[in-house]
Each structure stands twice: as C-alpha cells, then as structure tokens.
C-alpha cells in the first residue's frame, strides 16, 4: 500500500488527481506527517509535503494548505491563495492541489468531472454539527450552477463507530441513530454516517459516493489522534485537476 491510498471513484477521469497520505515512516516519531503544528521538525514536514505533491505531479507551491479550526468557512483557491483559517477549500482552476489535514476527522473530496470543479472538506464532529459539507455543496451549486447529480464524492478513512467514543454532549448534538450507548454517559459515534446523510440531503447520488469504511483508530496504517495523542502526525487528503498539457 506504500505511502498513499487513492480513491476509486475519480479513477475514470484522468484529469482528476486524488489521494490520501498514510501514517508510513516506521520508526520516525511522527511518520509521514503533514502537519507543522504537532511538534515534528518543519524541514521533515515540508519534505513530506514535497514528496506527496511530487508523487501526484504537483509542485509544493501549488499545494493549498489551510489552517483548520473546526469551523464552517469555505475558501476559494487560485494562485493568490494565502493560508488562513478555514475547513474547506474549492477551486475551478487547474494545477492546484487542495489539502485536508486529518487524524480521525472525516476528509471529504468532491469533484464535478465535467466542469473540473473540486473541493476538499474537513469534518470532525464540530464541523459535522455545523454541516460544513452541506454548506460547501450549497456554495458550489450556487457559484458554478452545477447539479449535485454530477458530483462524485469520496468520504475517507476516519474514526469508525467501532472505536469513536464520545460523551453525551457530542452524541446529543446529532440524531440518536448516529450513536450507540455503551455505558453511562458514553457512546460510540458514527461521524461518517452523519456526513453521508448530509451529502444525500444535498442531492448527491448514493451511487456517486464512495465511503472508505476503514477506521483510523484501530487500523494502525493511519494516523490517529485518539490512538497516539501527542505523538500523532496528520495525513493529507488531497484533490486537484491536472494542468492542461500545452501540446
């Protein structure tokens, strides 16, 4: 499996580039870590990002990295993109790779393969409470007058209901069907299920949603904040449209 996984749903469209980095880096403190905010060496993180971008045919300066704050701000990316606080990025420009940083939160990659519009969304439980994925889809539909039926969506590996223990405060923020009580005040929460429901509510077709059901907490090929705490790095889920070739 190496350092990357690639969604299947975008594969019929050669102009679409999408992948997610894995934990990798056996023996290194943070593995194949993409975050400069977890205590890893900055040179190592930049080398990891460079490696990821290059593997996918992009240069490091075209990798758009946001400062995620568990909010609902959705930001447009082009050559003028500046790092800022947001949890979703989108573009209709070729040659930009949009990054979503995760370790247990749900990464969502979205593409309209006919219009070459792409988006990447970060949805932890706080993002899900604010329906950031629904807000991103509503914005895309509005800005590009695109139809939800044309969208392809990948919901990446994240904390699974097998392991994702939350308190009544989190469980109570969602419909009770998304959590299962295990003991007094403790629940197992299905954040991925919430995200899929939010996609369907925006009229994305079920057959055009690919859900990677692997759990980042119990599958050690992934970075997991729940499992590793302060020793956890972050993975990037990325999506972009290749630059048109000039020949």
Among 120, 124, 160, 193, binds Zn ion (CB under 5 A): 160
Q: Does 218 bind Zn ion (CB under 5 A)?
A: yes
Q: Does 97 bind Zn ion (CB under 5 A)?
A: no
The residue among 89 and 235 lying less far from Zn ion, judged by its C-beta, is 235
Give the helix/strand (H/E) hosting 237. Answer: strand 235-241
Residues 188-217 that bind Zn ion (CB under 5 A): 215, 217
Q: Does 103 bind Zn ion (CB under 5 A)?
A: no
Beta bridge partners of 153: 110, 209
Q: Which range, of 26-34, 136-144, 156-164, 166-174, touches Zn ion by CB under 5 A? A: 156-164
Q: How far is the CB of 218 from Zn ion (least distance, A)?
A: 3
Q: Does 162 bind Zn ion (CB under 5 A)?
A: yes
d(CA 237, CA 107): 6
Q: How far is the CB of 40 from Zn ion (least distance, A)?
A: 25
Q: How far is the CB of 158 from Zn ion (least distance, A)?
A: 10
Residue 55 in contact with residue 82, Cβ under 8 Å? no
Residue 209 in contact with residue 196, Cβ under 8 Å? yes
Residue 94 in tokens: 């070729």
Core vs surface per residue 195-227: b (16+ CB within 10 A) or e: bbbbbeebebeeeebebbeebbbebeebbbbbb
Q: How far is the CB of 164 from Zn ion (least distance, A)?
A: 7
The residues that touch Zn ion, with contacts defined as CB under 5 A, are: 160, 162-163, 215, 217-218
């Amino acid at each position: 499996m190496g350092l990357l996984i690639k969604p299947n749903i975008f594969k019929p469209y050669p102009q679409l580039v999408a992948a997610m980095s894995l934990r990798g880096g056996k023996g290194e403190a943070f593995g194949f870590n993409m975050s400069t905010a977890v205590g890893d060496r900055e040179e190592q993180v930049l080398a990891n990002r460079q490696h990821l971008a290059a593997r996918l045919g992009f240069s490091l300066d075209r990798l758009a990295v946001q400062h995620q704050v568990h909010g609902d701000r959705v930001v447009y990316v082009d050559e003028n993109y500046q790092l800022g606080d947001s949890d979703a990025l989108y573009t209709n420009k070729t040659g930009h790779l949009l990054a979503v940083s995760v370790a247990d939160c749900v990464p969502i990659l979205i593409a309209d393969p006919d219009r070459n519009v792409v988006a990447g969304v970060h949805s932890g439980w706080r993002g899900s409470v604010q329906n950031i994925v629904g807000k991103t889809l509503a914005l895309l539909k509005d800005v590009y007058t695109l139809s939800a039926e044309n969208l392809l969506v990948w919901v990446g590996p994240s904390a699974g209901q097998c392991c994702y223990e939350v308190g009544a405060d989190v469980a109570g923020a969602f419909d009770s069907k998304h959590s299962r009580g295990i003991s007094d005040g403790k629940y197992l929460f299905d954040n991925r299920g919430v995200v899929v429901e939010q996609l369907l509510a925006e009229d994305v077709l079920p057959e055009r949603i690919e859900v990677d059901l692997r759990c980042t907490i119990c599958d050690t090929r992934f970075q997991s904040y729940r499992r590793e705490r302060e020793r956890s790095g972050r993975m990037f889920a990325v999506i972009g449209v290749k630059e048109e070739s000039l020949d």
